Homo-oligomer: A and B are copies of this chain.
Amino acid sequence: MTLANLAGVARKVGPKHRSGCPVNISLEVFGDRWSLLIVRDLMVRGFTTFQDFLESGEGIATNMLADRLKRLCKSGIVTSERDKNDGRRVIYRLTDKGIDLAPVMLEVLIWGAQHEQTGAPPAVIAELAKNRRAVVEETRRRWRERDAAPLLPWLGGPRTGHPGGRASRQAGRSHG
């Protein structure tokens, strides 16, 4: 079996997807912007609740967020559980399958920072790009150990006095 046969073999899969190509199937499963932004929030920002995602900065609508969370759970990328400290609260968490998106996320981040005006300093991006494996491993470690410290904290706005807290995120949220 060579690489060249991959696409052919992949097409033997059933009619559930538009094609059997692994790239297509991946994109059918998580390949819309909102889904990947939720995965990002879970993966690098330490966000866990519906409210967290809602206030994430890109202005996702409530119904869109609910729909995407449902889909991500159905695809086995995200799982939901009750908060041990507050039984009324639902906590979302990446599954094994979800955390395996870390390399995708990192490459998307590096590409964006290298090719678009994001304000991310070239030196930081070069560092990320040089240490891909270590960055992915650190992302996995935080996930495994439920270390809530965000890898990329959301630091917008002038009143971010309480890093990681919801209040600080709300204060810093763009209302534009």
In the complex the two chains form, is B120's CB within 8 Å of A9's CB? yes
Q: How far is the CA of A58 from the CA of B11 in the complex (A)?
A: 11
At the interface, yes or no: A93 with Cβ under 8 Å from chain B?
A: no
Copies of this protein chain in the complex: 2
Shortest Cβ gap from A29 to chain B (Å): 6
List chain B residues, Cβ under 8 A from A24.
Answer: 33, 37, 40, 57-58, 112
Shortest Cβ gap from A150 to chain B (Å): 8
Minimum CB distance partner of A121 in chain B: B1
A residues lining the B interface (CB < 8 Å): 1-15, 18-29, 31-33, 36-37, 40, 45, 57-59, 76, 97, 100-101, 103-105, 107-121, 123-124, 127-128, 150-156, 160, 174, 176
